[in-house]
Amino acid sequence: MSDKLNETRRFLAQHHGGNGAKAAAKTVSTHERNHDTDFWAFWRTHVPAADSLNIADLGCGPALFLKELADQHPDYRLTGIEIAPYMLASIEAKPDNLEIRVSDLNAPGDMVFPHHSLDACLANMLIHELFQPVMLFRALRHWLRPGGVLILTDMVRQPLDTFLQHKFPDTDFANAELDAPEMNDCFRDYFEHNRYSAEDISNLLTLCGFEVLELQLLRQGRATRIAARNP
Ligand SMILES: C[S@@+](CC[C@H](N)C(=O)[O-])C[C@H]1O[C@@H](n2cnc3c(N)ncnc32)[C@H](O)[C@@H]1O
């Protein structure tokens, strides 16, 4: 196992709260909210169904999205990329047309997929967990066929006070007794989940050569959903 891969795994173990099984279970429990009817409408607008598509889910977690897609489209070729051992362990039984690969998406290189081989990719709640997304965006330009589409959903920057009020509802910050380690964790969590604005992500995609097709703000502006095309 390379040092870089282990460094990413150590970061993710901490980012996911230090309890991998719990983090995997949470990803399962939030799957429906993250892939609701609005998500599927957005997906189908930008990735129209076809007889056979080659699709990847980047940071696929327990791979529930890909399993749903496999059910709907047994002819699709589906690949999940994941690095966290507890997420990989949660995948369990796979349909025949689903393959899972272990790769570090911080520095994926061009070789994870052949040149221009993918029709579409999903990156759902992945980008904020990367040290930087530039190397992935550049690799995607290589993997996606011309006209191929990236669908990206992620948390985006929100004001610190509203984040604190959401984390500690009904807390009087002026007078209540507060716990310093809990506050330390909360601030680390804030900076790890509020790295980019929606505009930052959109502009980075453009900088890396993508054409942004659509940008939605979700959850009162706390998240974004973007479709971007490899020209
Ligand atoms: C918040 S979870 C979302 C999982 C899944 N996309 C979903 O929506 O249910 C982010 C996933 O990305 C994976 N991930 C984060 N950084 C990664 C990296 N550098 N390489 C590969 N996977 C990564 C995490 O392990 C985790 O499973």
H-type helices in 16-74, by residue range? 20-29, 31-34, 37-46, 64-72
Residue 1's pLDDT band (boundaries 50, 70, 90)? low
Distance CA 205, CA 153 (A): 13
Tell me whether residue 163 is in a domain. no
Would you give the DSSP letter of residue 54?
A: E
Residue 228's pLDDT band (boundaries 50, 70, 90)? very high
**Atom 1 of ligand 1: nearest residue by CA position:** 125
pLDDT of residue 119: 98
**Atom 27 of ligand 1: nearest residue by CA position:** 61
Separation of 188 CA from ligand 1 center, angstroms? 18
With both helix axes pointing from N to C terminus, report the angle between 180-193 and 160-167 in degrees, rounded to the nearest 10. Answer: 130
Structural domain boundaries enclosing 15:
3-158+194-229
CATH of the domain at 46: 3.40.50.150
Tell me whether residue 172 is in a domain. no
Shortest CA distance to 57 belongs to which of 196, 48, 47? 47
Tell me whether residue 84 is in a domain. yes
Number of domains the chain contains: 1
Distance CA 107, CA 5 (A): 10
Tell me whether residue 174 is in a domain. no
Tokens 């998500």 found at: 39
Tell me whether residue 203 is in a domain. yes
Tell me whether residue 100 is in a domain. yes
Q: In what order do the strands lie in the sheet with 54-58?
A: 98-102, 77-82, 54-58, 118-124, 144-155, 223-229, 211-218
Separation of 97 CA from ligand 1 center, angstroms? 21
- pLDDT digit string, tens, across residues 170-214: 999 999 999 999 999 999 999 999 999 999 999 999 999 999 999
Separation of 83 CA from ligand 1 center, angstroms? 7
**Atom 10 of ligand 1: nearest residue by CA position:** 126
Displacement of CA 190 from its chain's centroid (Å): 17
Q: What is the mean pLDDT of residues 72-99?
A: 96
Percent of the chain with pLDDT over 70: 100
